[in-house]
Structure 1
Amino acid sequence: MEKGINYLHDDWLSKSNKVTDLFNKKMALNSKYNASFDSMTDEQKTALKDEMAQAAKDYTDAVEARNWSKQLLEEARGSEKPASKKPVEPKKSEKELAKDIKNKFVADFKNMVTSGTMPDGSKILGDDSSAGLTIPDDVQTAIHTLVRQYASLESLVNIENVSTSHGSRVYEKLVDITPLVNLDDEKAQIGNIDDPKLTLIKYAIHRYAGITTATNTLLADTAENILGWLEQWAARKDVVTRNQAILAVMGKAPKKPTISNFDDIKDLENNTLDPAIIATSAFVTNQSGFNVLSKIKDANGNYLIQPNVTNPEVKQIGGNTVQVIADRWLPNVTGSHPLYFGDLKQGITLFDRQEMSVTPTNIGGGAFETDTTKIRFIDRFDVQLIDNGAFAAASFKAVADQTKATADQTKATAVSK
């Protein structure tokens, strides 16, 4: 084999030298052609062109022969190398990879409590000033799934996922649009039209944090149970935190009428928002408020709130859906029930950083003295009012039914027509 490899090596060197010689010949002919072209006869030009074409072909053939010789040499050398005996590990499925990530997260979680050491090797101080463990995507997805089961207001507003701690967005607000100018005069100058009014909205991601206490027996549980407990706890905390931030922005609605009778609700529905927004609008109230509204009747004895004809579980007022939130998530204010009407997705945006983190410790925050584990959860988001004309806020306590018109009122109405 050694003799064969030496022969292939010499053959490759020989063919490489031939390529070099033919290349030099081709370049010399090109130079002769460029320098003497004008002084040559037609026969000389034809002969030189033929010679250049043959030199180019010889060069191309030599390059192919050299490359083939090089390939044979490399294959011969490769056959002498011992085959790798390291077994090839099969690729893991996405489900298996996700499970590995979760298991590592739980292992780091336990290690942080038992040793007080972060995954990067740094120590957790008593005041626990570390950044904590970033919750894996799969676990965050499970948390968000649970969030929707706790009557979260998050589903009512627009959600935008962001990857930076701050930024800005430009929005076009709904404004009155003026018509084009009538130009019957052919010589009239065309003027400028009204430009869209743009609003700059800035967001800055805030950290919202909370701490809970767990017994150390939690750490003796399985990875699935630890993750299940964490997901349930984080989801509840997340709902309360985000609801509070969303409610604070919902309270910035400019129109806040007080509802006292049936017609006040119809005024809120028909005469507070732009008609373009009414088409996508909905009512939002809490459970106790819905109980009051569900008993209101019009002059003909029909209830204000009616079931959707295709889905009786969906309740409507004048064709607009009524969304009911539990009192614990959407509380009364000084004894008055809240009532919002509009398109909250157009009016409010929640900028979600999607970087939840959790940090446990059995040392700081009094955990050492009580033999417990303190677990801190941090969520990162911001809520901004985008269009204050997209919804209105009202309140009510008792709402009177619509009164029937008297005989004189009916007669007067008929005469006026």
Structure 2
Amino acid sequence: MTNAAVLETKAEVSIDDAGTVTGIAWPFGKPDSYGDLIEPTAFKFAPEVPMLMEHEQGGGAVGIWNSLAVTDKGLEVKGRLFLEGVGPAREARRHLIAGSMSGLSIGYQRHEHKARREGGRVLTNITVTEISLCRRPVHPDARTTEVKSIIEGMSMENELKNEPEVKSDPVASPEEIKALKARMDAFEAKANRLRPANNNHPDGANDNSEKKALESFMRTGSIAEVKAIASDSNVDGGYFVLPTTDLTIRNLLTDLSPMRGLAEVIGIANDKYERFYSLGKRGAKWVSERSDRPQDTATPDLIKHSYGTAELYAAPTTTRTLLEDAAVDLSAWLINNAVQDFAETEGESFLTGDGADNSPKGLLTYPTASEKDFSREWGKFQYVPVGATAPTDKQLADALIKLVATLRRPYKGNAVFLMNGNTAVRLRQIVDATGRYLWAPTGNLIEGVDHPLLGYRVEIDDGMPDIGSGAHPIAFGDFRQGYVIVDRQGIRVEQDSTTRKGWIVFDSYKRVGGGAGDFNAVKFLKISAN
């Protein structure tokens, strides 16, 4: 690397017999020499991640990485060299002490990536299978930061005395040329072997870690690489399966309310949002040329709506040990579950919330009346009766047509039906005397387009009530005008590791409110005789 002379080496080395190594295996915010970046959320890890020398698979592991953590700085790792009888591990420590090996390089299986506009790639989903100690990492800032000791002050000066002196003379001796040739032969042999992708070799010839581990076991007898990928073994000690572990956590999908997508969403900077509606009373009168002009025509009334916000709170908790040792990204999973929980809870409130303590007041909790717009008291939605408490298919079809006709033209451009799945099934089964379906039979011929009902889109929300006496199972109108959602801020997540020692609490919260807007914009179908 041409800029190696100006790179800052971050090694702060202290030594002892424990052989503990810490460092940053992949720094964030700066691409490697191939132009590659790795997103902080991309990292997943094999059950055990071995420590190798220069990605040398055949030589076996020289240690094991006990801790792998994604922090603001990057992928911070901590591991232990196998000093109890593994010669290459002792050799690795000598190089670390001397400062001749201070780089780290990750070996990984690439699952997903995207191209960078500046060149290279952005890796979005990888599984780290090994991390190597190396002299010249592809990422210039991937360095060992410490060779940490339990007993401070011990040195390996006697061991280092036999290290060859670094020559300043640029003229190489015949012995050095011979040694260099032998080293190049070794590199060539190494390059011809199958290897997984890693950030020193991002275009690895294969990603078959199971085959590689099995070959290593058969060649050397070392089970370090097998342990790194195997999740089960025979009680007799023989590995009979080398499984690939799925390191993702699959969430069971739930139904979310479409109200946030239908309503008007306002972001605010304080704890309350206010808006005004004008009833727009007519006061203009016809006058003749010489007649007096009245000075007291009607003045429009202004109505103020106020929307407060309440806090939604969740605190998923896990132990620090589990968070550090898990191969999956537990923190992301817990946060995603909190976000899902918020979406489900607020969705219910947008329909049925009671509005207590500035929480959202649901669309279904407002009173309704049968009077038309401008005759009806403000603060009530209009309903259209279906004509019976147990309506027939014909009564339902006739009432739907009347419901659409009741909504005035200013609101029809963005009008949508809202109902639950059971009501939708009932409406889909309504046919006329010739067997034609009420609900857009020709919609089946349009690929990817959901069937319109009487020409209008249908949204399903199972928070809406079923068809039953006195219920309002169908709403129709412009929900963007008819309902307002107020967000004080987005979801905030704070990690609390001090309140309860040994536990990590993901303190998650958001502030949200909601309520009706224009009471003329949404109409309801009521299951009643009048």
**Normalised TM-score (structure 2):** 0.41
Counterpart check, 1:234 vs 2:338 = yes
Corresponding residue for residue 385 of structure 1? 516
Q: Which residue number corresponds to residue 203 of structure 1?
A: 307
Note the C-alpha offset of 1:267: 1.7
Alignment match, 2:268: 162
Report whether the alignment pairs 1:313 with 2:445: no
Determine what percentage of the aligned residue pairs are the same residue: 19
For residues 347 and 171 of structure 1, the distance between their equivalents in structure 2, rounded to whole angstroms, comes to 12
CA distance in 1, matches of 2:292, 2:447: 57
Report the Cα distance in structure 1 between the residues aligned to 2:424 and 2:262, rounded to whole angstroms. Answer: 17
Shift of 1:304: 1.8
Contact residue 403 and residue 524 of structure 2 kept, 8 A: no
Flag the 1:218–1:391 CA change in 2: closer, same or farther, 3 A: farther
- How many Å separate the matches in 2 of 1:196 and 1:349? 23
| Cα deviation 1:249-270 (Å, max 9, x = unaligned) | 2111523455422212222221
Q: Shift in Å at residue 104 of structure 1?
A: 4.1
The alpha-carbon distance between structure 1 residues 298 and 357, as it changes in their structure 2 partners (threshold 3 A), is same
Question: Which residues of 2 match residues 99-178 of structure 1 at below 5 A?
Answer: 103-104=71-72, 150-173=256-279, 178=282
Distance 2:287 2:256 in 1: 59
> Residues 180 and 302 (structure 1 numbering): CA distance in 2 closer, same or farther, change over 3 Å?
farther
CA distance in 1, matches of 2:287, 2:472: 54
Does the 8 Å contact 2:432/2:438 carry over to 1? Answer: yes
User: Distance in 2 between the 1:223 and 1:200 partners?
Assistant: 54
Residues of 2 paired with 1:99 and 1:160: CA distance?
Answer: 31
Matched, 1:264 2:395: no
CA–CA distance in 2 between the matches of 1:297 and 1:105? 64
- Counterparts of 1:18-417 in structure 2, within 5 Å, are 103-104=71-72, 150-173=256-279, 178=282, 180-189=284-293, 191=295, 194-214=298-318, 216-220=320-324, 225-226=329-330, 228-248=332-352, 249-251=362-364, 252=366, 254=368, 255-257=382-384, 259=386, 260=391, 261=395, 262-271=397-406, 273-306=407-440, 313-325=449-461, 327=462, 329-330=463-464, 332=466, 338-359=473-494, 373-394=504-525
SS of residue in 2 equivalent to 1:199: strand
Amino acid at match of 2:293: Q
- Letter aligned with residue 522 of structure 2: F
Listed as ranges, the gaps of 5+ residues in structure 1 are: 1-84, 108-146, 398-417
162 and 105 in structure 1: CA distance in 2 versus 1, 3 angstrom threshold:
farther
Instruction: Identify the structure with the greater strand proportion.
Output: 2
1:322 partner letter: V
Distance 1:205 1:105 in 2: 36
Q: Is the 8 A contact 1:103 1:223 kept in 2?
A: no
Q: Secondary structure at the match of 1:293?
A: helix
What is the CA deviation profile of residues 93-142 of structure 1, one whole-angstrom value per residue up to 9, with x for unaligned ones? 8xx9x969x944999xxxxxxxxxxxxxxxxxxxxxxxxxxxxxxxxxxx
- After superposition, the CA RMSD in angstroms is 4.5
Secondary structure of the 1:302 match is: coil
| Secondary structure of residue in 2 paired with 1:317 | coil
Contact 2:316/2:338 (8 A) holds in 1: no
- Closer/same/farther in 2, CA of residues 179 and 241 from structure 1, 3 Å limit: same
TM-score (norm 1): 0.51
Residue 219 to residue 190, structure 1, CA distance change in 2 (3 Å): same
**Distance (Å, rounded) in 1 between the aligned partners of 2:498 and 2:436:** 63
In structure 1, how many angstroms separate the alpha carbons of the residues matched to 2:515 and 2:482?
9
Shift of 1:354: 1.5
In 2, the alpha carbon distance for the partners of 1:223 and 1:278 equals 52
Distance 2:268 2:317 in 1: 31
Q: Aligned partners of 1:150, 1:218: CA distance in 2, in Å?
A: 30
Aligned residues: 263
Deviations 1:292-326 (A, max 9, x none): 1111124553222115586662222221211123x
Q: Tell me what 1:78 maps to.
A: none
- Call closer, same or farther: CA 1:319–1:253 in 2, change over 3 Å: farther
The alpha-carbon deviation at position 212 of structure 1 amounts to 3.3
Secondary structure in 1 matching 2:304: strand
1:231 Cα deviation from its structure 2 partner: 4.2
**Is the alpha carbon distance of 1:222 and 1:158 closer, same or farther for their aligned partners in structure 2, counting shifts above 3 Å?**
farther
Query: Could you tell me whether the CA contact under 8 Å between 1:253 and 1:393 is conserved in 2?
Result: no
Report how far residue 198 of structure 1 moved: 2.4
Q: Structure 2 regions of 5+ residues with no counterpart? A: 1-5, 9-28, 31-36, 42-69, 76-252, 353-361, 369-381
Residue 313 and residue 106 in structure 1: after superposition, are their counterparts in 2 closer, same or farther (change >3 A)?
Answer: farther
* 1:168 maps to amino acid: E
- For residues 193 and 256 of structure 1, the distance between their equivalents in structure 2, rounded to whole angstroms, comes to 32
Q: CA–CA distance in 2 between the matches of 1:166 and 1:232? A: 28
Structure (1 or 2) with the larger CA radius of gyration: 1
Name the aligned partner's letter for residue 418 of structure 2: V
**CA pair 320-105 structure 1, distance change in 2 beyond 3 A:** farther
Query: Separation in 2 of the partners of 1:223 and 1:276?
Result: 56
Pair 1:296–1:222, CA change in 2 (3 A): same
Q: Which amino acid aligns with 2:304?
A: L
Cα distance, 1:187–1:389 mapped onto 2, change above 3 Å: closer
Q: 1:288 to 1:374 in 2, by over 3 A?
A: farther
**SS of 2:436's equivalent?**
coil
Find the aligned partners of 2:508 and 2:525 in 1 and give their Cα distance: 34
How many angstroms apart in 2 are the aligned matches of 1:280 and 1:393? Answer: 16
- Provide the secondary structure at the position in 1 that maps to 2:411: helix
Change in Cα spacing, 1:323 to 1:167, as seen in structure 2 (3 Å) is closer
Tell me if the contact between 1:339 and 1:396 (Cα under 8 Å) persists in the aligned partners. no
More helix by share: 1
